[in-house]
Structure 1
Amino acid sequence: MINRVDKELAFMLQFENIAWYDEGCVKILDRRVYPNKVIFAECRTHKEVSKAISDMVTQSAGPYLAVAMGMALAGYESKHLDVNDRIDFLTNACSTLANSRPTTSTRMMLITKSCLERGIEAIKSNKDPIEAMFYRGIELSTKRYSKIKKIAENLVSMYPDKGTILTQCFGESIVGFMIQEFQKRNKDIKIVCAETRPYFQGARLTATVAYEQNADVTVITDNMAAYTMQHKKIDIFTSAADLICLNGAVVNKIGTFQIAIAAKYLGIPYFVTGAPDKDCNGLEDVHFEFRDEKFVTEAMGIKTAKEGVKGFYPAFDYTPPHLVSAVVTDLGIYSPYDVFKYYIGNDEGEY
């Protein structure tokens, strides 16, 4: 029996409401429309799971559970194949799912490969690989949540007893655990969320989790960050990260860099949460994704620019280490220039 720490969190942070395999189908909460609509995309093949991830049906850390559920689905798809063909099918699925989002493919490969190994082991032991990969996915996600809970404890230890923090995009479970932790410590903390294009994840997701967990939360547009820092007396800027490089730089949702610049100028610390990525030394190792230009010329499907006007949409940006005050991990709090030390005696990381 796995101790499911996700059950303590808001609706959309519970595993069944992120991505879940059941009887030949993976259901994924469509975060592009939540909370205004509660719709689950139904995927009948692992390739459909991969497309749902690339189409941002789920994002932030949602894909890390979705790819594991996709591996269980691949096990179902291949149930009529002989042993060798089934292993080949699962191996190909492992690669397809891991590469659904190029920027985070290394992290996702750690998950799909672990599920694959568990599945092959089950096949060779005449056991059900679907069940083996499904439970491996839950096990990995539970383990990650437990680490993030510890990260939240370390993060909140640096919060004032009374203050206001600014977030960027949607940090997934760190948001829920952070709120739990400052409430447990009786700290009076207000949260300000930047809205975040293209699906307004900060406004819809971060703010919803905060509201459901009884936190004081306010939404601002993406171009209000500097003014808000000055006039709302922001004490701390914090974000999760899609990648934390071993040189201390942060790759995260586009806009993080400019908020970090404003924070540095105004003397506000920027604390990034997560574990560094072992295979990412710096900018040269980052594959930046670009989104369809229509996400700039329209908002939530409504055209905002004249037909023929061009758009430009890099999905992530790179914040250099001199703008990062600290990297907050499950093993402790590091200077960005010392974050490589995280792996001394520890080989797992967050994922």
Structure 2
Amino acid sequence: MERQDKDLGFLLRFENVAWYENGSVRILDRRVYPRKIEFVECVRHEEVAQAIADMVTQSAGPYTAASMGMALACHEVRGRPQAEQLSHLKKAAYTLSHARPTTVNRMTLITGGCLDVARTALEEGRAADQAVLDHTIDSMNRRYAKISQVAEYLVSLWPQNGTVMTQCYGETIVGTMLREARNKGKNVKLFCPETRPFLQGARLTASVANDQGVDVTVITDNMPATVMATKGIDVFTSAADSICRDGHIVNKVGTLQIAIVAHHFGVPYFVTGIPDKELLTINDVRIEERDPTEALSFNGVKNTADGVKGFYPAFDVTPAGLVSAVITDKGPFAPQDLNRYFSLSDTAYW
């Protein structure tokens, strides 16, 4: 199978997300990219979990990092009795899947799949770390292929010469939607809110767009309303960290306010991704609140007086009424109709 990261930006190449080799996991440090191209090297699976918690990687990056972390966990106990290895891997699966609270459901599916692969490899006398690595590469290819299908449906809803606003960094969909637009001959312009405090829109989304030759403009997080009012935005789109079956969308904090503005100006908001089967309602989601000091500084420089407090919920919740459609690999769905997706979907994603 041809690698599905072909013609995508630097950030989306498999080896530049996270990679296991020779008893360590290398994770591209997205906290400093593109100012610097640096990799964090982890020699224990706990270090991979900490890197995920510290946002060395984010968006869908933790899904790959967690899988590579499971390969590393296999390496840590190679040669030990099978029961001891499996006990260690079960603990590693929990540690990696719980590195950040809001996506535990997805991460548990990922690490659980790796655990099953490792168990089978051990029973057959094969190297478990190589088996998990091969499984992870296959999973990445499959996930990229599915998101490429999402991109086809999404781009079909764009005008021929459209202006699109994004939010945060939606990982694979960013590269695949721009690749699909190019393949369809659609001339798209992108406006990317910066996404404070880590600037994922400015540093990551804009970099991928630039790598792929797309006209991209970065705006600050307080500009979306003005830009929608004056720059002819045709579409607002984002990925989602959780898509609940009741139509609620959980995504990077700031998504809700852009959705409200889009609704006001009559701009459609298309969410991309695969609905979460386990999340029946928004009540099943725990919103991560990160260290409030992260909101008080930028690039390590403190911006506030001593005694000033911060608040940093990593995600917010957008209700179904503000979402025009959820674009999946099976086509667009009304957010109130997501249960139907599971009667049509037949291929594992996570």
Structure 1: unaligned runs, 5 residues or longer: none
**1:328 counterpart residue number:** 327
Q: Please state if 1:196 is matched with 2:195.
A: yes
Contact 2:330 2:344 in 1 (8 A): no
- CA displacement at 1:207 relative to structure 2: 0.2
- 1:251-277 Cα deviation digits (max 9, x unpaired): 000000010001101111000000110
Give the Cα separation in 1 of the matches to 2:198 and 2:173.
20
Give the Cα separation in 1 of the matches to 2:91 and 2:98.
11
- CA displacement at 1:283 relative to structure 2: 1.8
How do residues 168-187 of structure 1 correspond to structure 2 at under 5 angstroms? 168-187=167-186
The aligned amino acid for 1:160 is P
The aligned amino acid for 1:319 is T
The aligned amino acid for 1:130 is D
**1:21 counterpart residue number:** 20
Q: Please state if 1:304 is matched with 2:307.
A: no
Give the Cα separation in 2 of the matches to 1:175 and 1:83.
41
- CA displacement at 1:349 relative to structure 2: 5.8
Give the Cα separation in 2 of the matches to 1:295 and 1:83.
43
Contact 2:164 2:236 in 1 (8 A): yes
Distance 1:108 1:271, change over 3 A: same
- CA displacement at 1:120 relative to structure 2: 0.6
Give the Cα separation in 1 of the matches to 2:348 and 2:316.
22
Q: Percent identity?
A: 51
- 1:290-326 Cα deviation digits (max 9, x unpaired): 1111111111211111111000110000000000000
- CA displacement at 1:81 relative to structure 2: 1.8
- CA displacement at 1:7 relative to structure 2: 3.0
The aligned amino acid for 2:65 is A
**1:258 counterpart residue number:** 257
Query: Paired residues, what number?
Result: 350
Give the Cα separation in 2 of the matches to 1:348 and 1:62.
21
The aligned amino acid for 1:54 is A
CA RMSD of aligned residues (A): 1.0
Structure 2: unaligned runs, 5 residues or longer: none
Contact 1:111 1:137 in 2 (8 A): no
Q: Report SS of the residue matched to 2:217.
A: strand
Give the Cα separation in 1 of the matches to 2:307 and 2:23.
43
Contact 1:241 1:272 in 2 (8 A): yes
The aligned amino acid for 1:98 is S
Give the Cα separation in 1 of the matches to 2:173 and 2:179.
10
Distance 1:347 1:102, change over 3 A: farther
Q: Which is further off, 89-98 or 38-47?
A: 89-98
Give the Cα separation in 1 of the matches to 2:160 and 2:107.
37
Q: Report SS of the residue matched to 2:90.
A: helix
Distance 1:349 1:304, change over 3 A: farther
Q: Report SS of the residue matched to 1:252.
A: strand
- CA displacement at 1:348 relative to structure 2: 4.6
The aligned amino acid for 1:168 is Q
**2:341 counterpart residue number:** 342
TM-score, with length taken from structure 1: 0.98
**1:123 counterpart residue number:** 122
Give the Cα separation in 2 of the matches to 1:183 and 1:236.
17
Contact 1:276 1:349 in 2 (8 A): no
Q: Please state if 1:150 is matched with 2:143.
A: no
**1:161 counterpart residue number:** 160
Contact 2:246 2:282 in 1 (8 A): no
